[in-house]
Amino acid sequence: MRVRKTVLKALKASDGPMTFAQIMAGPGDGFKPTLVRETLRHLVKSGHAAEVRPETYAALRERNTVEGRISVNVRGYGFVSSPTGDIYIASGDMRGAMHGDTVTVRLHQRQQGKGRAGEVASIVERHNQTIVGRFEKQGRMGLVSPTDRRIKGDVVVGHDGFGGASTGDIVVVRITSFPAVGHSAQGSVEEVLGNATDPGVDVEVVIREHGLRAAFPKEVEIAAGVIPEAVGPVEPGREDLRDLLTITIDPVDARDFDDAISLERVDGGFRMWVHIADVSHYVPWGSVIDQEAVQRATSVYLVDRVLPMLPERLSNGVCSLNPGVDRFTMTAEFDLDRTGLVGRYRLYPSVIRSDHRCDYEGVQRWLDTGEGWPSEEAERLLTDFRGVAAAIGRRRVARGGLDFESVEAKVWLDPKGHPLEVTLREKTVATSMIEEAMIAANEVVARHMRDHEAPMVYRIHEDPDPDALAQIGVVLQEFDYPIKDVGAATPHTFQKLIAYAHERPERLLINSLLLRALKRARYVDYLDSHFGLASDAYCHFTSPIRRYPDLIVHRLLRAQLTGTLHEPPTSDMVSELEWLAEQSSMMEREAEAAENDSVKIKLCELMAEHIGEEFAGIITSVSSYGAFVQLENTAEGLVHVMAMRDDHYTFDAERFLLHGENKGVTWRLGQAVTVRIVDVALADRRIEMEWVR
């Protein structure tokens, strides 16, 4: 059992406070003292426990207030993310808080079978200084209606703050007075983006809605511009691996290459090298490039552009492991037996020269046909790699690791940004090979840092919420699955459900529902497990070009290897790890939402050309106001109950279905249906459908 759960459970079960010595002699027996101390520190900080006397701790059954960032749903309610978990906030308890604000929450008394809930007590920090929305002139005043439906209420603009905007324009308004109970927000127009129908405005809206950063500040571009393209002299301690056969495998349209692979047969097994771009060599902590990277925290892959975390000179050039050029890297070298078990390992800075730039489609074609290999050496490496990755995957699945099935929609655009077609990407052997290698490398690094008791940013995935799992159980009963009670599901339970759904038409729906029931993986500065991977220690080490936590891990690992963890600048960064992890988690969520929104916009635009046409789909959600249907190209629309004119339908919330009171027709979750596109509201990103009889 994990140390955090073990210690907290013991504190809650104790009749009184426990000393550190008692904890170490009881639940802490077998754990390293430094790990237990760190766990107690976080339990106290998060409000789960209190240090009642020096070295003496007691569990807190309830804490009255909690601070965290609030995420608002389009329906008006929200959740505050805090160290104690997510806290539900009803729409009437917002007290003027807006999506993204940092707030203090006063907790309500927990009810039996219910999650934690509360009300906003105060607003600590405002997140939205500007809002993007549609401008409408009303006499001498103007109103800006936010395009982001998570932000409730219009912004009032005085006549001297129009900024040249006309009714119908999409504008950026700067808030001069935030909303309060009984009072609307006020502001002035800072920028006119154009009409909603102008090319490119739709994605610009997404960028502004999610607070993303597009252009880099001039000083950042200047700093990146003076970094030499070619690697300098190889310093002592950096191993020269340029003679080692090395390949990269990425999407065909990739422009930055974080990782490369080498593989050789040794002593009845294999030796794998996972080489990762050494961004930390070029981007030191506190530099102007680093300060900008902290704010971005991740690269964002929108439907028509990429917003990189690092300037293009670094992300696509200096740091990218392009073929045929020398590049500085951090290497995780480890031996594996034929069952995928990792044995001896080494971690060190290196210099490599990639021999082949491969893409997923090409590798899959070579593996399937046995033809077209770039060289005999590459054929041997990739063939062996397939077997090694499969063995790593089998071992991961055996311990409970999950392999969800999903599809990714790729919308292809013309030069003006108009959608042409949609292609669907599914997991292949080639993509799985890289995924398994990266997971293995991430675990090697995480366990190394754990075993050396070094400060670290881990990637954790907490156990699913029993209440969320209970809702899945109702759906499984409707589909007559052999496993119906998932209230205390283990990873192995999820595995069985995924396997059972594999050959069934509702395969993707079940995978999606299971994913939704899980908590989000996030970054923290303490050790905890990863439910989805069934891993006792996991981190992100393999993508420092596009993820800031990976860059942090590289710096910490380098400092640990050189014995400089307690020296500046690393010691300065260590004091900020908690905030950096939280910032990275928040920006990851915003990036994912923005990427999804940008695809949704183009899917709506594409489906607007098919009004009146019929499509096959599957019901993915049912509510009192209708049923959402997802088409084969992943576009999703609503069949509103008002459009179900053949009967009067009532919503069965227990069974997730709509039932016709007169004719007995039912529309249920997972049902295959045929729908007709009735209307598309591009501004609202909404597709309206009706049933086809």
Q: What single-letter amino acid sits at 185?
A: A
User: Could you tell me the pLDDT band of residue 63, with boundaries at 50, 70 and 90?
Assistant: low
The whole model's pTM is what? Answer: 0.84
For residue 579, count CB atoms less than 10 angstroms from its CB and return exposed for 0-12, middle for 13-18, buried for 19 or more: exposed
323 upstream amide cis, omega within 30 of 0: no
d(CA 630, CA 608): 15
- Residues with Cβ within 8 Å of 83's Cβ and at least 6 positions away in sequence, in order, are 42, 45, 46, 47, 48, 66, 68
Q: Sign (positive/negative) of CA torsion 481, 483, 489, 492?
A: negative
Q: Is 106 helix (H, G, I), strand (E, B) or coil?
A: strand
* Helix residue ranges per DSSP H, 417-506: 429-451, 466-478, 491-501
Q: What three-state secondary structure class fits 619?
A: strand
Q: Would strands 117-125 and 85-89 be described as parallel, antiparallel, or unpaired?
A: parallel
Please choose, from the candidates 442, 31, 19, 16, the residue with its C-alpha nearest in 3D space to the C-alpha of residue 4: 31
Among the residue ranges 501-515, 521-535, 626-640, 677-691, the one predicted with the least confidence is 501-515
Could you tell me the two tokens for 614? 């019929």
3-class SS of residue 266? strand
CA dihedral 259, 260, 265, 269 (to 10 degrees): 10
Q: Which amino acid is at 380?
A: R
List pLDDT tens digits, range 637-649.
999 999 998 899 9
Q: Does residue 322 have a pLDDT over 70?
A: yes
Q: What percent of the chain has pLDDT over 90?
A: 59
- CATH of region 65-125, choose from 3.40.50.10540, 1.10.1070.11, 2.60.40.10, 2.40.50.140: 2.40.50.140
Positive or negative torsion for Cα 68, 74, 77, 79: negative
Q: For residue 578, give the H/E element and its range.
A: helix 577-607
Which strand (E) or helix (H) includes residue 187? strand 185-195
64 has pLDDT over 70: no
Residue 609 CA: distances (Å) to CA of 528, 603, 678 = 49, 10, 11
- With H, G, I as helix, E, B as strand and everything else as coil, classify residue 51: strand
Q: Is the pLDDT of residue 62 over 60?
A: no
pLDDT confidence of 1, banded at 50, 70, 90? very low
The DSSP bridge pattern shows strands 269-277 and 259-266 to be antiparallel
Distance CA 525, CA 607 (A): 44
In whole angstroms, what is the distance from residue 316 CA to residue 302 CA? 17
Query: 3-class DSSP state for residue 595?
Result: helix
pLDDT grade, residue 112 (50/70/90)?
Answer: very low
Dihedral angle over CA of 234, 239, 240, 246, nearest 10: -130
List all residues 6 or more positions away from 581 whose beta carbon is below 8 Å from its beta carbon. 457, 522, 523, 524, 525, 549
Nearest-CA neighbor of 263 among 361, 359, 392? Answer: 392
Contact 636, 686 (CB under 8 A): no
SS (H, E, C) 383-434: HHHHHHHHHHHHHHHHCCCCCCCCEEEEEEECCCCCEEEEEEEECCHHHHHH
The residue-averaged pLDDT of 334-361 equals 96
What pLDDT, on the 0 to 100 scale, is given for residue 52?
67
Contacts of 293 (CB under 8 A, 6+ apart): 283, 309, 310, 548, 551
Q: Which helix (H) or strand (E) holds 620?
A: strand 614-623
With 90 as the cut, is the pLDDT of residue 55 above it? no
| HEC assignment per residue over 26-55 | CCCCCCCHHHHHHHHHHHHHHCCEEEEECC
Domain 3-59 identical in fold to domain 65-125? no
pLDDT in the model for residue 632: 92
Secondary structure (3-state) at 575: coil
The domain 611-691 is classified under which CATH number: 3.40.720.10, 2.40.50.140, 2.60.40.1890, 3.40.50.150?
2.40.50.140
Q: Looking at the domain covering 3-59, what would its CATH class be?
A: mainly alpha
β partners of residue 410: 423
Residue 385 to residue 389: CA distance in whole angstroms: 6
For residues 367 and 184, what is the distance between their CA atoms, to the nearest angstrom? 61
CATH of domain 130-195: 2.40.50.700
d(CA 522, CA 593) in angstroms, rounded, equals 15
Dihedral sign, Cα of residue 179, residue 180, residue 184, residue 186 = negative
User: Which pair of tokens denotes residue 427?
Assistant: 């997991």
Provide the pLDDT for residue 466: 73
Write out pLDDT tens, residues 567-591: 999 999 999 998 999 999 999 999 9
CB 104 within 8 A of CB 95: no
Count Cα neighbours of 602 within 13 Å in the Cβ-side half-sphere: 27
pLDDT 10s digits, 381-402: 999 999 999 999 999 999 989 8
H or E segment and range at residue 222 = helix 218-225
Convert 268-337 into a string of H (helix), E (strand) and C (coil): CEEEEEEEEECHHHCCCCCCHHHHHHHHHCECEECCCCEECCCCHHHHHHHCCCCECCEEEEEEEEEEEC
Which pLDDT belongs to residue 84?
57
Residue 527 per-residue DSSP state: -
Nearest C-alpha neighbor of 203 from the set 128, 134, 133, 304: 304
pLDDT digits (tens, 9 = 90+) for 137-152: 998 899 999 988 888 8
Which DSSP state fits 665? -
Q: Give 180's Cβ-side CA count (13 Å radius).
A: 3
Report, in angstroms and rounded to the nearest whole number, the Rg of the chain calculated over CA atoms.
Answer: 27
What is the per-residue pLDDT for 2?
A: 65
Query: Which among 508, 473, 521, 509 is positioned nearest to 493, based on CA atoms?
Result: 473
> What does pLDDT average to over the chain?
89
pLDDT above 90 for 653: no
Name the band, by pLDDT with cuts 50, 70 and 90, for residue 484: low
Ranked by mean pLDDT, the top range of 25-29, 194-198, 362-366, 515-519 is 362-366
Sign of CA dihedral 59, 64, 65, 66: positive
Domain boundaries, the chain: 3-59, 65-125, 130-195, 219-458+529-596, 463-518, 611-691
- Predicted confidence (pLDDT) per residue in 536-545, tens digit: 999 999 999 9
**37 token code pair:** 């101390």
Which position has the higher pLDDT, 64 or 1?
A: 64
- Of 326, 316, 319, the residue nearest 352 (C-alpha): 326
pLDDT, residue 113, reads 45
